[in-house]
Structure 1
Amino acid sequence: MSAESTPEPAIPGESGTTGRHRVRGSRRKPRNRGRGVLVMAWTAAGIVVLGGTGAGYLYFKLNGNIKSVDIDSALGTDRPVKVDNGSENILVLGSDTRSGTNQKLGGGPDDGSARSDTAMVVHVYEGHKKASVVSIPRDTVIDRPECTDAKGGTHDAASGVMFNSAYTTGGAACAVKTVESLSGVRMDHYLEVDFSGFQTLIDELGGVEVTTTKAIKDDDSHLDLKAGTHQLDGEQALGLVRTRHGVGDGSDLGRIQLQQAFMKALINQVKSVDLFGNPKKLYDLANTATRTVTTDSDLGSVNSLMSFASGLKGIGSSDMHMVTMPVQYDPANPNRVIVREAQAEQVWTALKEDRAIPESATEGTATGEADGVVSAG
């Protein structure tokens, strides 16, 4: 069916949901280590600039920057059925690698390990004019499936573990397997970005303008913002998307709300910059983006990314509906959340059927109480 013959799904307005309060005094002391970055930054910015890097002498350098993982081979055929309705699902992760520059930005030991603290399922609707973004909280308690990593190693299933343990255990392939098991939705592509690349990308864009409705101060993420409008540089932007206890109830859910607001501001910033009128800025952004990103093997070349970009760069911030996977605080541990199964099923069914996510899917779910603290410009 053509895009012209299928109505574009509506983007629901924000619902007046309220979250449950955590038990006072039972919250963990936030760990002084790196948090997941807003990985959609690369989708919104890096991918866009690749569309202008067709010059032959740049191709081989940029192509050589890209790292890819053959997820399809690792996962085999035991996966959800690929829905052929013109839509695409992309799992976007933020990695916290414990080595080099990332160790300085993220904190923690320089042990070479990697974690993923930010995960988003980006659903691009048929026609590629609108998208829904579903954030999956890292602290969600799940049953992790058995999985095979990209090197052929197998990892046993585990019950009652945190969602982000999948990436730590088996890397990208295990993360994709876990998301597909959790949602029943086939992931068509995979994108991953790291801390240092995110910070550099924001600086090369000239910063991003956001407005805060209240002061945000978080020594762990090196963030100190008064209420008002700010042009955030890379370090400040990284602090904003990392801060956990600087806003709301101090949970990962509040941080997700900040990340979603920042994503919209970033998309607006990208559209306001005359990239094609400044070849050096265009090259610097493309070079940073390709060095920062890890993709699935189908996107592991400049040509593939350029083709992919043509289907995303027309989507503006007003065309994106952003939600958090429906969860509630875990009665057994207020520092964790558990899936609200019936409402989560509404979300995943909507994506499988290429429909807008209904407002009823997120009504009454835990939010982190940070909604409205940050807005675009």
Structure 2
Amino acid sequence: MPQAPRLRSTGRHMRTTVMTSNRNKWIALLTACMLVIVVGFGGVLALRMRNNLHTQELNISNYKDGLENGALDILVIGSDTRKGNNGAYGDEDDRNSEARADVMMLLQISKDRKNVSVLSFPRDLMVDVPQCTDPESGTVYPAEENVQINESLSRGGAGCTVATISKLTGVNIDHFMLVDFNAVKELSKVVGGVQVCVDAPIDDEYSGLKLPAGTSSVEGEQALAFLRSRHGFSDGSDIGRIQAQQGFMSSLLRKVKSEGTLSNPGRLINIAEAITQNVTVDKNLGNISTLVGVGATLGGVDLSNVVFATVPTEPWSQDANRLQVSADAANVFQRLRDDKSLKEEKAPEAPATAAAPVQLDRTVPVSVYNATGLDGRSATIASVVEGLGYSNVTPGTSASPTNFTTVFYSTGYEAEAKEIAAKLNVTRVVATEEVQGVSVTIGTDFPSGEAMEKQEAAIAGNATGQTADQNKCQTAFAY
């Protein structure tokens, strides 16, 4: 069998990098949500879907040790191919390049069919890829460490991406869906547009997204632009884009359930056509009987039990422009292996008791570091801290962005740290002797305002995300 040459990873995740084309990170989120909807439609769509679908092998690697736990795990992959109807997106280099998996979403339907978790993997994530064999050419791609995860698709097909994410998470993946650009445009038209909200006008020259402040309905090319936009939201990074995608998908699900789409055969057939004409699936899913079998139960899943989350990451140790999974990811992966929802139920609040008064030292040194990549954030938050009466506050800038806002404190300053965290609505408060006094690191999850938005649903492993019943207005990127 021919041996494949070593492949070279490419890509950046920081906002300062201007990409020659915006890749379709929206695809997996959209298809993951629509999969939840479509599989509930039963036999009326089965024949239509079966006739449209193209199929590939599920797993083409030598790694097959994922844990089987009774849940249904489906990997939804967004391909950046520019072939066929997708040739209008990107330049000549894009059209001639190998397809990559720019979005990977692991959709888990719990064994009891009461919960749905959708976990997103950023394309700039560095991982170990197992050996894969192209089922058509016989080309063998050797196992390799420190590979950008989106490259896995070019190592023989979707089956290599399945194996890569199974190896990373320890989860046995039952099926995959590989989709392209046209799905989002057609689906958004079928449902009559999707409502989105932004807190300020957006005019993104890269994706073509143009929106006024407030609520708008998007469909077709504007729906595609909303989900492709890298420079339109938050700090201009992947985190902001993923948050916007999650908001879009949640809005789509709410609309479909509220408007009776699930009981409208004509609209269901149109949705099935829109999806299946733009999708490749594994050979077992091509038979579709597995999905139809659980469809009736999925139709009744409460939106508060549909959770969107992003795998916890941090800058890669060898290149801050790429990502690696953080320690928090282990908890997220374990919950999937244990067939537990990624939504953590809030513990019952203990009855209020009179606490002994604590004497706060508001002369303690407080450092405020801007790790968002945006101008002015440390000064804004330093002013909030000073408003509490702290007199020794120093703003500064971190050397590299970080995802999560955290308040750190050294021994003796826990009470001061908790007061500051409460004012800012920051939930991460960490004791460490690496700071003197209190230190606030402002992450990309806190791009604007004087206090973080309270998250109604806690996501496991300190992951960012939301449930489908939450209606959020996205923060526009401040150019």
Do both proteins adopt the same fold according to a TM-score greater than 0.5, normalized to the shorter chain?
yes
Change over 3 Å in CA distance of 1:211–1:369 after alignment to 2: same
Which digits, 9 at most, give the CA deviation of each residue in 1:226-246, with x for residues without a partner?
A: 220111112122111111122
Indicate yes or no: 2:51 matched with 1:64: yes
Indicate yes or no: 2:125 matched with 1:140: yes
Indicate yes or no: 2:194 matched with 1:199: no
Task: Identify the residue that residue 38 of structure 1 maps to in structure 2.
Answer: 27
Change over 3 Å in CA distance of 1:284–1:107 after alignment to 2: farther
- 1:32, CA displacement in angstroms? 1.9
| Separation (CA, whole Å) in 1 of partners of 2:288 and 2:131 | 33
Q: Which has the higher contact order (CA 8 A, sep 6+)?
A: 1
Unaligned runs of 5+ in 2: 1-12, 345-402, 407-442, 454-464, 474-479
Q: Which amino acid letter does the alignment assign opposite residue 203 of structure 1?
A: K
Q: Which amino acid letter does the alignment assign opposite residue 27 of structure 1?
A: T
| Separation (CA, whole Å) in 2 of partners of 1:237 and 1:344 | 31
Q: Which amino acid letter does the alignment assign opposite residue 320 of structure 1?
A: V
Q: SS at 1:110's partner residue? A: helix
Task: Identify the residue that residue 319 of structure 1 maps to in structure 2.
Answer: 305
Q: Which runs of structure 2 are paired with 1:73-88 in the superposition (5 Å)?
A: 74-75=60-61, 78-84=63-69, 86-88=70-72
Change over 3 Å in CA distance of 1:307–1:290 after alignment to 2: farther
Q: Which runs of structure 2 are paired with 1:230-241 in the superposition (5 Å)?
A: 230-241=216-227
Unaligned runs of 5+ in 1: 1-21
Change over 3 Å in CA distance of 1:311–1:67 after alignment to 2: farther
Q: Which amino acid letter does the alignment assign opposite residue 97 of structure 1?
A: T
Task: Identify the residue that residue 291 of structure 1 maps to in structure 2.
Answer: 277
Q: SS at 2:64's partner residue? A: coil
| Among 246, 249, 257, the residue aligned to 2:235 | 249
Q: Which amino acid letter does the alignment assign opposite residue 230 of structure 2?
A: R
| Separation (CA, whole Å) in 1 of partners of 2:292 and 2:302 | 18
- 1:221, CA displacement in angstroms? 1.0
Change over 3 Å in CA distance of 1:376–1:51 after alignment to 2: same
Change over 3 Å in CA distance of 1:107–1:318 after alignment to 2: farther
Q: SS at 2:275's partner residue? A: helix
| Separation (CA, whole Å) in 1 of partners of 2:40 and 2:308 | 25
| Separation (CA, whole Å) in 1 of partners of 2:308 and 2:39 | 25
- 1:142, CA displacement in angstroms? 2.0
Q: Which amino acid letter does the alignment assign opposite residue 95 of structure 1?
A: S
| Among 79, 86, 96, the residue aligned to 1:95 | 79
Q: Does structure 2 conserve the Cα–Cα contact (< 8 Å) formed by 1:205 and 1:273? A: no
Deviating beyond 6 angstroms after TM superposition, the runs of 4 or more aligned structure 1 residues are 370-374
Q: Does structure 1 conserve the Cα–Cα contact (< 8 Å) formed by 2:127 and 2:149? A: yes
Q: SS at 1:97's partner residue? A: coil
Indicate yes or no: 2:105 matched with 1:110: no
Q: Does structure 1 conserve the Cα–Cα contact (< 8 Å) formed by 2:128 and 2:144? A: yes
Q: Which runs of structure 2 are paired with 1:1-377 in the superposition (5 Å)?
A: 27-45=16-34, 48-49=37-38, 51-52=40-41, 54=43, 60-72=47-59, 74-75=60-61, 78-84=63-69, 86-105=70-89, 109-111=94-96, 113-151=98-136, 152-275=138-261, 278-330=264-316, 332-340=318-326, 342-357=327-342, 367=444, 375=471
Identity of aligned residues (%): 34
| Separation (CA, whole Å) in 1 of partners of 2:298 and 2:46 | 21
- 1:175, CA displacement in angstroms? 0.3
| Separation (CA, whole Å) in 1 of partners of 2:277 and 2:336 | 31
Task: Identify the residue that residue 380 of structure 2 maps to in structure 1.
Answer: none
Change over 3 Å in CA distance of 1:160–1:231 after alignment to 2: same
Q: Does structure 1 conserve the Cα–Cα contact (< 8 Å) formed by 2:100 and 2:152? A: no
Q: Does structure 2 conserve the Cα–Cα contact (< 8 Å) formed by 1:69 and 1:172? A: yes
TM-score, length-normalised on structure 1?
0.81
Structure having the higher Rg: 2
TM-score, length-normalised on structure 2?
0.65
- 1:42, CA displacement in angstroms? 2.9
Q: Does structure 1 conserve the Cα–Cα contact (< 8 Å) formed by 2:27 and 2:181? A: no
Q: Does structure 2 conserve the Cα–Cα contact (< 8 Å) formed by 1:347 and 1:358? A: no
Which digits, 9 at most, give the CA deviation of each residue in 1:301-334, with x for residues without a partner?
A: 3444422433433234321222211111235433
- 1:284, CA displacement in angstroms? 1.8
Q: Does structure 1 conserve the Cα–Cα contact (< 8 Å) formed by 2:48 and 2:272? A: no
Which digits, 9 at most, give the CA deviation of each residue in 1:324-370, with x for residues without a partner?
A: 11111235433211221x211111111111224477xx966965656
| Separation (CA, whole Å) in 2 of partners of 1:37 and 1:44 | 11
Q: SS at 2:27's partner residue? A: coil
- 1:82, CA displacement in angstroms? 3.7
How big is the alpha-carbon RMSD for the aligned residues of Structure 1 and Structure 2?
Answer: 3.1
Q: Which amino acid letter does the alignment assign opposite residue 133 of structure 1?
A: V
| Separation (CA, whole Å) in 2 of partners of 1:38 and 1:153 | 28
Task: Identify the residue that residue 9 of structure 1 maps to in structure 2.
Answer: none
Q: Which amino acid letter does the alignment assign opposite residue 174 of structure 1?
A: C
Q: Does structure 2 conserve the Cα–Cα contact (< 8 Å) formed by 1:250 and 1:368? A: no
More off after superposition, 146-155 vs 191-200: 146-155
Q: Does structure 2 conserve the Cα–Cα contact (< 8 Å) formed by 1:180 and 1:186? A: yes
| Separation (CA, whole Å) in 2 of partners of 1:204 and 1:43 | 17
- 1:164, CA displacement in angstroms? 0.4
Q: SS at 1:224's partner residue? A: strand
| Separation (CA, whole Å) in 2 of partners of 1:353 and 1:267 | 26
Change over 3 Å in CA distance of 1:175–1:29 after alignment to 2: same
